């Protein structure tokens, strides 16, 4: 990169195959400017992305459904590089594999960088794909199917695996299943790419767990619940691989109607947790103390309509938010005080934006 305060940002979204569904930008931490530096099409609905820790490979879902799209979901691998004396990124596909279900919506790379775990929302299943030495994806090594339903008749008529997270010790994969109101634990075999059922933690009926994040201390897990607009905190017992519920807080003001929680992140210092609200179109901000207890700070406008995925910039100065319905990406300044989140200082048009991922590490 030309300067240490400039970072690569990838944005994915909902797009037809003949549209540039994945776009790359240079983000300037000092000025909050976003400059286009690459794009690629050919993928239907690359709605969620993840960057490999080696800083050379990018992975995307192809969020499709057998009905009406005619094809189940897929996972794509890409290689990217920056030619000398240019900001432009050359992004090229390596290959694709079936995701093992309909509407894949989340990807996770394990700590070794050798395995990619995909959550299939509509099918309620989870698959494991090997990452080969060249960055391409091998054939699926394991696939697990969830069963069950929960309290919400329309949204919880069956299992809906929405995301996965590795425990800090890399022993377990936890899958948030919105459809069955469970955080499902799997022991993960990093030699074979296999998942073995270990147990689960149930949420409140109708909560709809969506996304999760561990605190940097590795002892607390925070869960964003889509259907009842709440944030749950859990204490993680690494010896037994279990969770203990600690706290539940709302992410929206009392009386708010028609909201769906989306994404969740914690800052690098472990002092603040952020949750995006679709419908209320806001970001809820919470302080975290040394014991992992949460205190509400504010609920601030997100800068657009229907905030899905968001990311804290590598320098910690700002938040970048993908607003799907308004078709833009907003940059909001962060503050360590009570005015935790400011009004947008920059914004770019990105049709149907749904995911933002920074490139933060290099070989």
DSSP-assigned letters across all residues of 263-302: EEEE-TTSSEEEEEEETTTEEEEEEE-TT--EEEEEEEE-
Range in 2-11, 27-36, 174-183, 300-309 with the lowest mean pLDDT: 2-11
C-alpha 109, offset from chain centre? 12
Residues 330 and 32: their CA atoms lie apart, in Å, by 10
Which burial class, exposed, middle or buried, applies to 15 when counting CB atoms under 10 A from its CB (0-12, 13-18, 19+)?
buried
In a domain, 140, yes or no: yes
Average pLDDT over residues 40-45: 97
| Residue 337: predicted pLDDT | 81
**361 pLDDT more than 80:** no
Residues 221 and 127 in one domain: no
Residues 103 and 197 in one domain: no
Residues 105 and 126 in one domain: yes
Q: Which residue blocks in the chain are alpha helix, DSSP H?
A: 66-69
State the average pLDDT for the chain.
Answer: 95
Residues 6+ away with beta carbon under 8 Å from 91:
22, 24, 38, 39, 40, 58, 78, 79, 80
Single out the residue in 123, 145, 167 at which a domain terminates: 145
* Number of domains making up the chain: 2
| Residue 132: predicted pLDDT | 98
In a domain, 317, yes or no: no
In a domain, 36, yes or no: no
Residues 129 and 196 in one domain: no
**134 pLDDT more than 70:** yes
Q: Where in the sequence is the domain holding 98, given as residue range(s)?
A: 53-145
| Residue 67: predicted pLDDT | 85
Single out the residue in 250, 271, 296 at which a domain terminates: 250
Residues 122 and 215 in one domain: no
| Residue 82: predicted pLDDT | 81
**346 pLDDT more than 70:** yes
pTM of the model as a whole: 0.97
Residues 114 and 156 in one domain: no
In a domain, 285, yes or no: no
> CB of 233 within 8 A of CB of 224?
no
Single out the residue in 250, 285, 310 at which a domain terminates: 250
> CB of 143 within 8 A of CB of 124?
no
User: What per-residue string of b and e applies to 157-176 under the rule 16 or more CB within 10 Å gives b?
Assistant: ebbbbbbbbbbbeeebbbbb
Nearest of 329, 333, 275, 228 to residue 9 by alpha carbon: 329
Residues 121 and 198 in one domain: no
Sign of CA dihedral 176, 178, 183, 189: negative
The pLDDT tens digits for 282-323 are: 999 999 998 889 999 999 999 999 999 999 999 999 999 999
The pLDDT tens digits for 81-132 are: 987 778 899 999 999 999 999 999 999 999 999 999 999 999 999 999 999 9
pLDDT band at residue 252 using 50, 70 and 90 as cut-offs = very high
pLDDT band at residue 25 using 50, 70 and 90 as cut-offs = very high
In a domain, 272, yes or no: no
How many other CB atoms are found less than 10 A from the CB of residue 122? 22
């Amino acid at each position: 990169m030309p300067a240490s305060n400039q970072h690569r940002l990838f944005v994915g979204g909902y797009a037809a195959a003949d549209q540039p569904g994945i776009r790359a930008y240079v983000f300037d931490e000092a000025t909050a400017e976003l400059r286009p530096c690459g794009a690629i099409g050919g993928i239907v609905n690359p709605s969620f992305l993840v960057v490999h820790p080696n800083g050379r490979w990018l992975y995307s879902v192809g969020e499709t459904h057998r009905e009406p799209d005619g094809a189940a979901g897929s996972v794509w691998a890409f290689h990217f590089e920056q030619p000398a004396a240019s900001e432009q990124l050359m992004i090229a596909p390596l290959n694709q594999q079936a995701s093992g279900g309909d509407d894949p919506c989340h990807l996770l790379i394990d700590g070794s960088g050798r395995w990619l775990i995909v959550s299939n929302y509509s099918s309620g299943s989870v698959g494991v794909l090997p990452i080969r030495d060249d960055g391409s994806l091998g054939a699926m090594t394991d696939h697990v199917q969830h069963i069950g339903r929960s309290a919400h008749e329309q949204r919880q008529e069956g299992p809906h695996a929405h995301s996965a997270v590795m425990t800090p010790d890399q022993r377990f994969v936890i899958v948030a299943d919105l459809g069955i109101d469970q955080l499902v634990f799997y022991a993960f075999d990093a030699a074979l790419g296999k998942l073995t059922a270990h147990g689960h933690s149930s949420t409140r009926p109708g909560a709809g767990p969506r996304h999760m994040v561990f605190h940097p201390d590795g002892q607390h897990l925070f869960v964003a619940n889509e259907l009842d607009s709440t944030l749950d905190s859990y204490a993680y017992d690494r010896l037994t691989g279990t969770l203990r519920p600690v706290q539940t807080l709302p992410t929206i003001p009392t009386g708010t109607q028609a909201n769906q929680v989306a994404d969740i992140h914690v800052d690098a210092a472990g002092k603040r947790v952020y949750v995006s609200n679709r419908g209320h179109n806001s970001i809820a901000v919470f302080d975290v103390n040394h014991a992992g207890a949460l205190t509400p700070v504010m609920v601030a406008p997100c800068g657009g309509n229907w905030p899905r995925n968001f990311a804290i910039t590598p320098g910690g100065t700002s938040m970048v938010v993908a607003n799907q319905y308004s078709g833009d990406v907003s940059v909001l300044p962060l503050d360590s005080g009570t005015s935790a989140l400011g009004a947008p200082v920059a914004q770019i048009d990105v049709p149907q934006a749904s995911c933002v991922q920074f490139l933060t590490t290099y070989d």
